[in-house]
Amino acid sequence: MAVLLVLDNPVFRNFLGYAALVLVKTVAMSSMTTVFRITRKVFATPEDAAVFGIKFSPTSSDPMVDRVKKAHLNDLENVVPFALLGLLYVTTGPSLDTANLYFRIFTASRFIHTFAYLFAIPQPTRALAFYAGFGVNIAFAFNILRQASF
């Protein structure tokens, strides 16, 4: 039985790179929310507003802050399953070409999705990017279940 979760396995090594890219992007969305909250003076709590000498308003919001938060939430809903399913997928011993295609589609879809969300690019751009990434996660799950023994 081959050991698949080692750096000598090019599928695993490539997965690590693509997973790191989308995970770092997801983490960066949190910082982007903070930047937009500060520059737009829209804070989540009274103590955050007080640091900047601003009166807190629980009803205040900003469309850009909301967009960044929604893009971040969407990343959390899709990138975490990609990381977990992708890791399991690597253990099924997929071909390098097929795996790379899946990894690239997912990674590109997440960057396109975020770009479309932040810059309000008209639909169906964001929806197509979402479904491309979602399709990769479904393909991973299908391949894992196909090879699983119950």
User: Could you list the pLDDT tens digit for every one of the 150 residues in the chain?
Assistant: 567 888 989 999 999 999 999 999 999 999 999 999 999 988 888 998 899 888 888 777 899 999 999 999 999 999 999 999 999 999 999 999 999 999 999 999 999 999 999 999 999 999 999 999 999 999 999 999 999 887
What tokens appear for 104 in the block? 């690239």
Distance CA 87, CA 38 (A): 37
* Residue 48 pLDDT: 87
The pLDDT, as a whole number, for residue 49 is 87
The whole-angstrom separation of Cα 96 and Cα 9 is 9
Q: How far apart are CA 54 and CA 68, in angstroms?
A: 22
Alpha carbons 137 and 18: distance in angstroms, whole number: 14
Q: Residue 5's pLDDT is what? A: 83
**Which of 95, 82, 97 lies closest to 140, judged by CA?**
82
The SS3 assignment for 41 reads coil
Angle at 46 between CA 42 and CA 51, to 5 degrees: 80
Alpha carbon of residue 146 to chain centroid: 25
CB 92 within 8 A of CB 147: yes
Is the pTM higher than 0.85? The answer reads: yes
